[in-house]
């Protein structure tokens, strides 16, 4: 993709607030000219086009009122930069006032404010990265765990794009044959249709696409986290378990049933897997309007959770509420947990299993004494790693846009195979294959439109 010239943009590329360093990034053909107007090197001449790229200079940013800050400025020449444009980065001290004042001076010197994600958008438009890689940049910024970062980096390196380009290339090879038979059916030098060969290629590509589609549930887990509902009747110790996981008093704990009236969410990182723990209100019948609303929300969380920690009180016998909750949990991925093992046991788990069909592998814990929690954490991570809450895949799809496009591409190939079974009409087969190629092109950006680009890059922070 040829480099495209844009106007020069500037933005703060570090988080707001106080810090050791604040960085103002400037990109565009006139980036160095903008800096030259406000930057005064200490004891050296200003940067010019004959100087070596990737040079840093120490000096001062000066405005009409005098010196604003002592800074280091990095000069990076096109095309070997993030955007393939000239880039200057002004490294200020990290005070909010200084950083904003330097940005104001840069804008007054000829730059304009960058839009959200505009630096990465330019990297895509100028051909340095494709669209899937550009989206990976956003995923890296938002990564919650090491595993999420690992998956995002894989996509940034081009692992997904390389796979899709290979599959698209296979489809293009058969499309050439199909279109040649459509346009020149009577020419002797046109290769004849080989339906079985075309079928094998389409089936092989479709299988690869299906594997990528199936990986989405697991990929989404690493990106967004495993929504894990702590469910049970009132006073079984859900809030105490949440606090034990987090190792601080996040939820209020009292001996009074129904203390938790709303859902409390907190993130827990277990072996690189993000779990979103949702401490829910105890599920029971109530006439209290507030408690009824809490129970309603608890049921909703239980319905949409990827994993349910079904918690029972080991110090009392089970009752009809436990049985009802167990019946609901059977339709989901769950771990049965017996809490309060520091007290005399009165819960007959064998009878409970007999009555409900629950998994007999209960995890016994005491949130109060802090015992059994490591075993519970191990079971939770094993369910994700083993694929019980998703699947196990080397290459994972984490983006809902990619998932949708892959599903459509696979569906189009299913239509092509159906046409092959019924007839060998190259026009119909070619249409489905071409549409599948276009769907794959939407992921990498080979086929796109301004609305898709705006939607993707508007989700980025300003400065990236």
Based on the domain organization, do 167 and 109 belong to the same domain?
no
Q: Note whether 231 and 211 are same-domain residues.
A: no
Cα angle, residue 126 at apex, residues 121 and 130 outer, rounded to 5°: 65
Q: Are residues 301 and 347 in the same domain?
A: yes
Each residue of 106-157: pLDDT tens digit?
A: 999 999 999 999 999 999 999 999 999 999 998 888 887 777 888 889 899 9
In the listed set 129, 152, 179, which residue is the last one of a domain according to the structure?
129
Angle at 378 between CA 375 and CA 383, to 5 degrees: 130
Distance CA 35, CA 40 (A): 9
Residues 170 and 91 in one domain: no
**Cβ atoms of 12 and 24 closer than 8 Å:** yes
Q: Are 294 and 260 contacting, i.e. CB atoms less than 8 angstroms apart?
A: yes
User: Do 364 and 315 share a structural domain?
Assistant: yes
Say if residue 201 is in the same domain as residue 248: no
pLDDT tens by residue, 255-281: 544 444 446 778 888 887 888 888 875
Dihedral-angle region of residue 344 (phi above 0 means left; psi in -120 to 50 means alpha; beta otherwise)? beta
On the question of pLDDT at 1 being above 80, the answer is: no
pLDDT, residue 258, reads 44
149 in a structural domain: yes
Q: How many domains does the chain have?
A: 3
pLDDT at 395: 82
What pLDDT score was predicted for residue 187? 63
Residues 194 and 228 in one domain: no
Helix, strand, or coil (residue 349): helix
CATH code for position 436: 1.20.120.430
372 and 318 assigned to the same domain: yes
Could you tell me if 437 and 179 are in contact, meaning their C-beta atoms sit under 8 angstroms apart?
A: no
On average, the pLDDT of the chain sits at 84
Among 253, 256, 233, 223, smallest CA distance to 241 is for 253
List of residues 6+ apart from 254 with CB closer than 8 A: none
The strand ranges marked E within 112-231 are 112-113, 226-231
- In whole angstroms, what is the distance from residue 88 CA to residue 71 CA? 12
Which of 116, 100, 179 is CA-nearest to residue 431?
179
- d(C-alpha 82, C-alpha 74), whole Å: 13
Secondary structure of residue 272 in the 3-state scheme: coil
User: Within a domain: residue 451?
Assistant: no
Interstrand relation of 19-27 and 87-94 (parallel, antiparallel or unpaired):
antiparallel
**Structure letter (DSSP) for residue 258:** T
Looking at 65, 99, 129, the residue that finishes a domain is 129
Give the pLDDT band of residue 284 (cuts 50, 70, 90): very low
The gap between the terminal CA atoms of the chain, to the nearest Å, is 21
Q: State how far the Cα of 290 lies from the Cα of 330, in Å rounded to an integer.
A: 28
The average pLDDT across 66-83 equals 94
Q: What is the CATH number of the domain that holds 122?
A: 3.30.1360.120
76, 74, 80: which is closest to 24 by C-alpha?
Answer: 74
pLDDT bin (cut points 50, 70, 90) of residue 290 is: very low
Handedness of CA 206, 211, 213, 214 (dihedral sign): positive
Answer yes or no: do 210 and 241 share one domain.
Answer: no
Domain presence at residue 459: no
In this structure, the strands spanning 9-12 and 112-113 are parallel
Question: What is the residue range of 207's domain?
Answer: 137-215+397-445
* Residue 292 confidence class, pLDDT cut points 50, 70, 90: very low
Sign of the torsion formed by the C-alpha atoms of 129, 133, 137 and 138 = positive
Which position has the higher pLDDT, 166 or 396? 166
Measuring CA to CA, how many Å separate 119 from each of 6, 113, 115, 155? 11, 11, 8, 18
pLDDT for res 44? 63
Q: What is the pLDDT of residues 307-357, one digit of tens each?
A: 889 999 999 999 988 898 888 888 888 999 999 999 999 999 999 999 999
Query: Helix (H, G, I), strand (E, B), or coil: what is residue 401?
Result: helix
| Calpha distance 286→183 (Å, rounded) | 73
- CB-CB neighbours of 149 under 10 Å: 17
Read off the pLDDT of residues 365-397 as tens digits, 9 standing for 90 and up.
998 888 999 999 999 988 877 755 544 456 888
- Inside any domain, residue 229: yes
Mark whether 305 and 433 lie in a shared domain: no
Are residues 239 and 102 part of one domain? no
Whether 81 contacts 8, CB under 8 Å: no
Whether the bond between 268 and the residue before it is cis, its omega within 30 degrees of 0, is no
User: Residues near 288 by Cβ (< 8 Å), separated by ≥ 6?
Assistant: 258
pLDDT, average across residues 154-167? 93
- Span 180-220, pLDDT tens digits: 777 665 565 556 678 888 999 999 999 999 999 988 877 87
Domain boundary among 336, 353, 385: 385
């Amino acid at each position: 993709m040829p480099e495209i010239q844009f106007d020069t943009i500037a933005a703060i590329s570090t988080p707001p607030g106080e810090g050791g360093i604040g960085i103002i990034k400037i990109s565009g053909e006139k980036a160095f000219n903008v800096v030259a107007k406000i930057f005064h090197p200490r004891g050296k001449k200003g940067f010019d086009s004959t100087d070596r790229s990737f040079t840093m200079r120490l000096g001062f940013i000066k405005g009409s009122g005098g010196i604003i800050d002592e800074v280091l400025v990095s000069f990076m020449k096109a095309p070997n930069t993030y955007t393939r444009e000239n880039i200057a980065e002004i490294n200020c001290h990290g005070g909010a006032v200084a950083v904003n004042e330097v940005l104001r001076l840069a804008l007054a010197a000829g730059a304009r404010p960058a839009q959200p994600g505009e630096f990465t958008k330019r990297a895509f438009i100028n051909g340095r990265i494709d669209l899937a890689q550009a989206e990976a940049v956003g995923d890296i910024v938002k990564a919650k765990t090491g595993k999420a970062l690992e998956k995002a980096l894989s996509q940034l390196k081009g692992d997904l794009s390389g796979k899709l380009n290979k599959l698209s290339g296979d489809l293009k090879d058969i499309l050439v044959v199909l279109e040649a038979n459509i346009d020149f059916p009577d020419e002797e030098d046109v290769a004849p249709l080989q339906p079985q060969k075309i079928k094998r290629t389409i089936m092989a590509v479709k299988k690869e696409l299906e594997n990528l589609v199936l990986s989405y549930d697991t990929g989404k887990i690493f990106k967004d986290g495993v929504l894990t509902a702590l469910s049970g009747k009132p006073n079984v110790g859900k809030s105490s378990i949440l606090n034990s996981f987090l190792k601080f008093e996040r939820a209020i704990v009292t001996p009074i049933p129904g203390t938790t009236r709303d859902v409390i969410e907190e993130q827990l990182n277990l072996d690189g897997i993000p779990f979103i723990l949702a401490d829910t209100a105890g599920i029971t019948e109530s006439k209290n309007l507030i408690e009824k609303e809490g129970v309603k929300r608890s049921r909703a969380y239980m319905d949409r959770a990827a994993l349910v920690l079904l918690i029972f009180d080991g110090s009392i016998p089970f009752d009809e509420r436990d049985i009802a909750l167990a019946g609901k949990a059977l339709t989901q991925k769950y771990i049965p947990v017996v809490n309060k093992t520091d007290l005399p046991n009165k819960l007959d788990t064998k009878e409970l299993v007999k009555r409900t069909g629950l998994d007999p592998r209960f995890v016994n814990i005491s949130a109060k004494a802090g015992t059994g929690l490591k075993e519970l954490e191990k079971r939770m991570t094993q369910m994700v790693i083993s694929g019980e809450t998703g699947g196990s895949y080397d290459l994972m799809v984490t983006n809902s846009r990619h998932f949708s496009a892959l599903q459509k591409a696979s569906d189009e190939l299913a239509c092509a195979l159906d046409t092959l079974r019924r007839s060998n009409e190259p026009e119909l087969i070619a249409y489905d294959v071409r549409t599948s190629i276009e769907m794959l092109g939407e992921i990498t950006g080979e086929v796109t439109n301004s609305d898709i680009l705006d939607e993707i890059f508007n989700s980025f922070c300003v400065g990236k």
